[in-house]
Structure 1
Amino acid sequence: MLSRRCALAGALALGLSACSGDEPGSDGALVPEGEAVAVCNDFRADPKVLASMRAGDIALRRALASGASPDAAAEAASAIARGDFRLAAATTPKGVSLDLYNAQCRLLGSPAAWSIRALAFVPDLAAAEGRGADVPATAFGRQYNAALMADPHYPYRDICRPVSDVGPEPEIRPDEPISQPYGFADLQSGEAVDTMGYAARHNAVGQLRRLVEARPQDIDKPDMFGLTPLAWAIAYQRWRTADVLIEAGASPTGARCQTAIDRQSPLQVARLMRWTDMIGRLRSYVSEEEFASLRQNPRYDDASLADFNRAFFQIKHRYDPILRQRRFSRYELQFTIDEAGNSTSCELVPASNSAEFDAELCEVAMKVVRWTPARDAFATTVSGDAKLVFGLGK
Structure 2
Amino acid sequence: MKMELAATAAFGLEAVVRRELEGMGLKVIKTEDGRITFLGDERAIVRSNLWLRSGDRVYIKLGEFRAVTFEELFQQIKAIPWEQYISPDGAFPVEGTSVKSVLHSVPACQSIIKKAVVEKLSLTYARARLPEDGAQYRIRFSILKDRVTVLMDTSGPALHKRGYRVANVAAPMKETLAAALIQLCYWRGDDRLLVDTCCGSGTILIEAALWARNIAPGLNREFAFQSWDMIPEELWKEEKARAYSAIDYDKELRLQGFDISGQALKAAAANAEEAGVDEDIHLYRMDMKEFAPRENNGIIVTNPPYGRRIGGDEELDSIYGHLAEILDEDPSWSLFLITAAKDVEEKYFHRKADRRRKLYNGQIMTQYYQFHGRKPE
TM-score normalised per structure 2:
0.29
Instruction: Flag the structure with higher strand content.
Output: 2
